[in-house]
Structure 1
Amino acid sequence: MNEDKGFYGLGIAPGILDIIAKIGFKKPTPIQEQAIPIAVEGKDVMGIAQTGTGKTLAFGIPVAQRIMQGGGPALVIVPTRELAIQVAESLETVCLPLGIHTATLIGGEPISKQFRQLSRRPQIIIGTPGRIIDHMEQKSVSFLKTKILVLDEADRMLDMGFAPQLRRIKAEVPEDRQTLFFSATMPEEIVSLAKAYLKLPVRVEIAKSGTAANNVSQELFFVSQETKPWLLEKLLGEYRGSVLIFSRLKYGAKRIAAHVRAMGHTAAEIHSNRSLAQRKESLEGFKNGKYRILVATDIAARGIDVNHIELVINYDLPDNAEDYVHRIGRTGRAGLSGHAISFARPNERNDVYAIERLIRSALPVSKLPILSGSTTPIPREEREFRPVRGPSRSFGSHGPTRRGAPARRTSGFGRSARPGGRRPYR
């Protein structure tokens, strides 16, 4: 371990150590401590770590050092534009003092702005797969001299269907490159993807793939769709810090945000129906305290990197169990403790079981509080948001009863989900 030496002893150049000290970083996170010494030597890295563990600097510091040593330009690929912006901001804290310039290639903003960035010959390009390919087709960028390729949140890129775009980009990058591959989970399809990109990689695993952070306490309520707004109001009244609420659908995020505002809370929303400027404003407002509550969909939330989130609420369960790990990883960052509460409808038991199998732990089930005292009127758009009745689509199946699992409430919950069915609303 390197606890007493801080960032010293990791093979980091003195000039970069000075920058790290000026920024105020004193102790590397576990992923930084393990990945940096490997990456600065030019070796490929397969990093498995949850969100909020310092992954960006785990690859950012070695990338900067390799460039300073003549290691060539780097390409960093991320799944969403919000994450691209966050990664660029983080890298610039180390790179700009070294004279290393970056360019961010994302959708939702004028491509002419990106042409200007590229004209300055940046040593690091950060971008999303689609916009990177747009520039490849316009011949505004070439990766023939790229020496370092970084794939961040690779599991999310695969979930979003970016495998064809990644293959196309990979074909343009030299084979004699260094590849740094990071993912929060490592299912078989991600292992296959990693094999296609990495050469004799060193595997760095901070937590077992799919596990939840130890400093995040978890709680589960079985609740009907109609009761969710009142339970949400009750919970928001009990927590005073910043709260991140997840909705599976963009329409749901909009309606939830409207309901939260009707309660008297300051709230913003991030989903694909919002422009890039609106999403930036919402995220910045959430960071600086203008908004106490942020409502987001899974894809839009990938760039959220805020250390002070006290509570994550899964208003809807995610489409797959891996997303649960990503969601709750938004709290409990930077060594702080966090709390995650999930709402599950009675017919979503299979989904709950799938999450429990992935995280290797039973979710503690809490009894519903008395909700009759709720007085906030639900906005019309929220009242109209009702699920279309039908069987639930399951991404899991019933497993054997686990020893030590908490007792589950069974009365009044209706029937269980039927495997192979569809979710009640889309």
Structure 2
Amino acid sequence: MTQVQTTAEKNGFEGLGIAPRLLQILQQNRFTTPTPIQHQSIAPAIEGKDIIGIAQTGTGKTLAFGIPLIQRVAQQNGRGLVVLPTRELAQQVNEMLQRIGRPLGLRTAVLIGGESMRRQIEQVKRNPHIIIATPGRLIDHLEEKTVAIGNVKILVLDEADRMFDMGFAPQINKIFEHMAGPGARQTLLFSATMPDAIVSIATRHMTLPVRIEVAPAGTTIEAIEQEIYIVKKESKLPLLETILREHTGSVLVFSRTKHGASKIAKHLHMQGERATDIHSNKSMGQRREALEGFKIGKYRVLVATDIAARGINVANIQLVINFDIPENSEDYVHRIGRTGRAGKEGKAISLATPDQQSDIRAIERLIRKTLSVKRHESVSEELLAIQKLIRKRPSPRGGGYRQSAPSAGGWGTKRAFSPRGNSPRSFARTNRAPRTH
């Protein structure tokens, strides 16, 4: 595995082997300077190399794989497959690919749970160049033989560590069983962390992958100011109200549970706050309305669970509040990465109970930084000292999410996704530009 580590580089997209027409589209969309992950990933990916990209959320990963994906699919008249953990993330990746690829005639299909089967089968009938899918729904189609992926030339696994956290390992392995071997396809894998499961994929399913790490694994974005309050459980809601009064911008609040998210949002709404919640008990339409309302300012506060928040990509979130400390310290990195994006300043405040000090230490070890910890007035110094003694030995870390893969029935059709025909000339003519040195 070849490894590349880098800091931000301010070179343009011109020297990365991107086709002239794609460069023009990027400029028209005001993408002029690649982020570090884009700068390091695009050129080797266009050359056909397998990539492992280690980068946090909000670092431009979608274009890092999207540009090579669109260009190589056009060059090869082949097909691409993007597999990712959540519905919301699938929709947002599709929006970005369409934004760049639509002028070239790109067609995509989005295969996710919670949407009309009839509409999805209509998408597949249009013979898309790229399918974007969540693991559970893709497996459903593979089993029903409504989709065949044996001839896919480029596979993208986005937020791979999150898919394993959500229990999708069996589905990911099964997807590989339906595909051609490593030498017959290109694989681009992007992840915020590098757990053993990712190393296993690289060993078994990738060919000499280039590892690109734009920041040490487990670190958070430096622009984010981080604070932790030690507070009794019954004092969390009043403290949350105080924090919200002190901050006027948009706020993303994380809860461990669906019930907790609903309770927090309802409480804030009763206090006159423009708040809503998003979690897996909500319908797709409700989740979309909540997210769009948060984006346009209809809601100032969005309360979310970790799973539902995976697709949230909202600019200018000023504050992230961890109402509950996450079960896994890696989730802390994912959560606070929603603020401080694109080099902007951000702030994250976490509310921890006195018996969670070992969880705080685990987070500090992961991010390699000592956090500012404040004692709320609800917690006496004596109680804090007692809890420090009780929690001297770290407790076992939480074991990931127990959510099962999304499930859906077949479409009642046997038409498979295949790489034959229907390639617009404008799309097929996207030839690669010569490399410049």
TM-score (norm 2): 0.85
Query: Equivalent residues in 2 for 1:6-21 (5 A)?
Result: 6-21=12-27
Q: How far apart are the structure 1 equivalents of 2:397 and 2:185?
A: 44
1:242-297 residue CA offsets vs partner (Å, 9 max, x unmatched): 10000000000000001111221111111111001100000011111111110000
- 1:136 corresponding residue in structure 2: 142
Higher helix share: 2
Partner AA of 2:199 in structure 1: V
Moved more, 59-68 or 408-417: 408-417
Query: Alpha-carbon deviations, 1:157-196, whole Å to 9, x = none?
Result: 0011111101111111111100000100112232223322
1:258 corresponds to 2:266: yes
Identity over aligned pairs, percent: 57
One-letter amino acid of the structure 2 residue matched with residue 287 of structure 1: K
Shift in Å at residue 197 of structure 1? Answer: 2.4
Deviation at 1:336, TM superposition (A): 1.1
Secondary structure of 1:309's partner?
coil
- Quote the residue 1:270 is aligned against: 278
Mapped partners of 2:397, 2:9: distance in 1: 49
Distance 1:256 1:108 in 2: 25
Question: What amino acid is aligned across from residue 98 of structure 1 in structure 2?
Answer: L
- Whichever residue aligns with residue 160 of structure 1, its letter is M
**Matching of residues 13-412 of structure 1 within 5 Å:** 13-70=19-76, 72-175=78-181, 176-368=184-376, 410-412=381-383
**CA deviation profile, 1:84-122 (whole Å, cap 9, x unmatched):** 111111111111111111100000112111100000000
Contact 1:71 1:147 in 2 (8 A): no
Measured in 2, the distance between the counterparts of 1:266 and 1:196 equals 49
Q: What is the rounded CA distance, in whole Å, between the counterparts of 1:26 and 1:215 in structure 2? A: 22
Question: Which has the bigger relative contact order, CA under 8 A and spacing at least 6?
Answer: 2
Structure 1 residue 139: Cα displacement: 1.5
Query: What is the DSSP-based 3-state SS (H/G/I as helix, E as strand, rest coil) of the residue aligned with 1:149?
Result: strand
SS of 2:156's partner is strand
Native 8 Å contact 1:286 1:294 kept in 2:
yes
Letter in 2 for 1:141: V
Deviations 1:113-143 (A, max 9, x none): 1100000000100010000011112221110
How much does 1:410 deviate? 4.6
Mapped partners of 2:367, 2:350: distance in 1: 14
Residue correspondences, number: 387
Structure 2, gaps ≥5 residues long = 1-6, 403-437
1:370-399 superposed Cα distances (whole Å, 9 cap, x missing partner): 79xxxxxxxxxxxxxxxxxxxxxxxxxxxx
CA RMSD for the aligned pairs?
1.9
Assess if the C-alpha contact under 8 Å between 2:83 and 2:157 holds in 1: yes
Shift of 1:209: 0.6
Q: Match of 2:426?
A: none
Q: SS in structure 1 opposite 2:383?
A: coil
> TM-score when scaled to structure 1?
0.87
SS of residue in 1 equivalent to 2:233 = coil
Judge which range, 120-129 or 4-13, deviates more. Answer: 4-13
CA contact (8 A) 2:328 2:397 kept: no
Question: In 1, Cα distance between the equivalents of 2:54 and 2:203?
Answer: 14
Deviation of 1:335 after TM superposition, in Å, equals 1.9
* Residue 334 of structure 1: how far off its partner (Å): 1.8
2:320–2:349 contact (8 Å) kept in structure 1: yes
> Per the alignment, in what secondary structure is the counterpart of residue 334 of structure 1?
helix
Q: Distance in 1 between matches of 2:251 and 2:159?
A: 23
Where does structure 1 lack aligned partners over 5 or more consecutive residues?
Answer: 372-407
CA distance in 2, matches of 1:197, 1:183: 16
